[in-house]
Amino acid sequence: MGNQAEHTEDTPDQAAFRAEARAWLAARAPLKEDGDGWSTRTTHPDVAAEKAHMDRCRAWQRELYDSGWAAIDWPVDHGGQGGERWQRQIFQQEAAQFDVTSGFLAAGIALAGPAIGHFGTDEQKARHLKPMLRGDVVWCQLFSEPGAGSDLANLATRAERDGDEFLVNGQKVWNSSAHLCDWGILLARTDPDAPKHKGITFFLVDMTTPGVDPRPIRTINGSSHFNEVFLSDVRIPAENVVGEVNSGWAVARLVLANESTMIGGGMDRADSAANLIALARRWGTAQDPMVRQELAQAYTKEKLLDWMGRRLQEDVRRGRQPSFDGSTLKVYWSESRRDRGNLGVGILGGYGVAGDHADTGVWANEALNRFWGSIGGGTDEVHRNNMAERVLGLPSEPRVDKHVPWREQVGGNG
Q: Which residues are catalytic?
A: 259
Q: Minimal CA–CA distance to 338: which of 305, 308, 367, 297?
A: 367
Here the contacts of 410-414 (C-beta below 8 Å, separation 24 or greater) are 411/147, 411/154, 411/156, 412/154, 412/156, 412/192, 412/196, 414/156, 414/158, 414/189, 414/192
How far are the Cα atoms of 8, 28, 114, 161, 391 from residue 110, in angstroms, in the given order?
28, 24, 7, 29, 24
Q: Minimal CA–CA distance to 181: which of 231, 258, 108?
A: 108
10 Å Cβ neighbour count for 167?
16
CA distance 24 to 385: 43
CA distance 413 to 407: 5
Q: How many residues are recorded in the chain?
A: 414
CA distance 204 to 63: 26
Looking at residue 397, the DSSP 8-state letter turns out to be P
Q: How far is the first Cα of the chain from the last one, in angstroms, to the nearest whole number?
A: 55
CA distance 307 to 312: 9
The CB-side HSE value for 371 (13 A sphere, CA atoms) comes to 7
